[in-house]
Chains A and B, each alone.
Chain A
Amino acid sequence: MTLDHIVVAGGSIAAVTAAGALRTAGFGGRVTLVSAERAAPYSRVPLSKGVMIGTETPESAALPALPDDVELMLGTAAAGLRVDRRELILAGGGVVDYDGLVIATGARARRLAAPGQRGELVVRTLADAEAIAERRADASSAVVVGGGFLGMEVASTLRHHGLEVTVVDMEPPLRRLLGPWLAEYVTKAALEHGVRLVISEGGVVLEGDPISGVRLGNGEFIAGDLVVSAVGDIPNAEWLEGSGLRLANGVVVDERCRVAPAITGAGDVVSREVSPGVFRRTPHWSNAVAQGRAAATSLLDDGASPYVPDHYFWTEQYGLDVKIAGEPPLVGEPDVLAGDLDGREVLLRWSNTDDATTAVVSINYRMPAARLRKMVA
């Protein structure tokens, strides 16, 4: 079957990378990007920083435009798929025919509010960030629910701009992601910056309508002018239910990002079977880029070689610019390769029992990212 029209469902970095990669690879047919959001493609990364606080404009997060010959259908959600007929069904009832499809519909913020309960803030879209920017002017305190990367970054930004900030989680912040050593290192900086960290093993309940604070498992109430939930994300895969495609914690892709004949997937919406029955997503920017490219190449050439997962990510909080090459969590204690731990400018190495490098982390330590990545080859 020849490919004349490739449709990319999604409008963020995975979708944009896939669409761009189709052109770079020389695909000359039609490319259409179908995105639920009205905004032209932008990066989410600055949302938890300047955009959320209003010091950066929404436009500053915009991604450079795709080539003119990529058709954009913005504000258009995909609602279903007829795999046998190669038809993408749109939310309004329209149908788009495709010869090849890239699924890149990403993820959305998980929420904790009860149905109808107003005032819960999240940070996933431009509109979310703008809503916080609007409300923070009158706010002097914030409760951030969730001590993962996102929650801790949001807390860092709000604290930096003078708010009293409490982070509540069921477990110590960042530990599941970074491992105990690095999590503690970053947490220490958070405490020094005056963020309050609370562990509530029983979770929290958002209270008030509009929400005015959170109730902890032990009955304590913590009030906040802003209550921000950063409790994970949910893959936008419901629209594929009934399509026959394999869904398990997202759309399941293989090592070439293939989902089914003429269908590939990339980014936060996809999962991979890392061991039998275990489906893992890798919801990070560099991974969305690597998969976006693979989703494009696999569509054009079924014999394309497997993609190389890019285990590189970063977080910026409490004056720490942390770059991580390698697959977390980081187990045990690191060696200091260069710099100074207490001076918070340091290059760290994690290794396994065979002394092979499993991860290299730079904290405020300036060096080219490619060199960091190469150290974990």
Chain B
Amino acid sequence: MTTIGSRTMQIDINLSKCEGHGLCEQLAPQVFGLDDEGYVFLKVDQPIPAELEEAAAAGARVCPVAALRVLR
């Protein structure tokens, strides 16, 4: 299993890339949201809470335009 509990993960959002497809939000609604204009924002503080790390990484991986990076 993935080791959890480090709380050192950051999500780097490249807003100029985001096209608002919302796949990140669909997969990890606890972590990602879309604003009224349809752009992504983080619903949680950085670093990402340990229990949400996996969800955050999974949400980042489905972004079709690679606007989300995972920094560990």
- Which chain B residues lie closer than 8 Å to A13 at the CB level? 62, 64
C-alpha gap A61/B58 in the complex (Å): 16
The reply to whether B61 and A368 contact each other, CB–CB distance below 8 Å, is no
The reply to whether A60 and B62 contact each other, CB–CB distance below 8 Å, is no
Binary interface encoding of chain A residues 286-298 relative to chain B, with 1 for a CB under 8 A from any of its CBs, else 0: 1001000000000
The reply to whether A368 and B38 contact each other, CB–CB distance below 8 Å, is yes
Q: How many B residues face the partner with a CB closer than 8 A?
A: 29
C-alpha gap A66/B58 in the complex (Å): 8
Binary interface encoding of chain B residues 43-62 relative to chain A, with 1 for a CB under 8 A from any of its CBs, else 0: 00000000000110110111
B20 contact from A21, A46, A369, Cβ within 8 A: A369
Which residues 362-376 of A sit at the B interface, judged by CB distance below 8 A? 366-370, 373
C-alpha gap A30/B47 in the complex (Å): 28
C-alpha gap A11/B2 in the complex (Å): 20
The reply to whether A20 and B61 contact each other, CB–CB distance below 8 Å, is yes
- Which chain B residues lie closer than 8 Å to A316 at the CB level? 19
- Which chain A residues lie closer than 8 Å to B27 at the CB level? 289
C-alpha gap A13/B19 in the complex (Å): 18
B31 at the interface (CB under 8 A from A): no
Q: Chain A, interface size: which category?
A: 35 or more
A191 at the interface (CB under 8 A from B): no
Closest chain A residue to B1, Cβ basis: A28
Closest chain A residue to B58, Cβ basis: A20
- Which chain A residues lie closer than 8 Å to B54 at the CB level? 23-24, 67
Q: When A28-B1, A289-B23 are in contact, do A369 and B60 touch as well, CB less than 8 Å?
A: no
- Which chain A residues lie closer than 8 Å to B42 at the CB level? none
Binary interface encoding of chain A residues 332-373 relative to chain B, with 1 for a CB under 8 A from any of its CBs, else 0: 000000000000000000000000000000000011111001
Q: When A64-B60, A368-B34 are in contact, do A42 and B1 touch as well, CB less than 8 Å?
A: no
C-alpha gap A17/B34 in the complex (Å): 21
B69 at the interface (CB under 8 A from A): yes
B7 at the interface (CB under 8 A from A): no
C-alpha gap A373/B38 in the complex (Å): 12
9 contacts between A and B (CB under 8 A): A13-B62, A20-B57, A43-B64, A43-B66, A46-B65, A64-B69, A64-B70, A314-B21, A316-B19
Q: Which residues of A are at the interface with B, using a C-beta cutoff of 8 A?
A: 13, 16-17, 20-21, 23-24, 26, 28, 42-43, 45-46, 60-69, 285-286, 289, 312, 314, 316, 321, 323, 366-370, 373
Other A-B pairs, 10, CB within 8 Å; known A17-B58, A60-B66, A368-B35: A63-B66, A64-B60, A64-B69, A67-B2, A286-B21, A289-B23, A314-B21, A316-B19, A366-B36, A370-B26
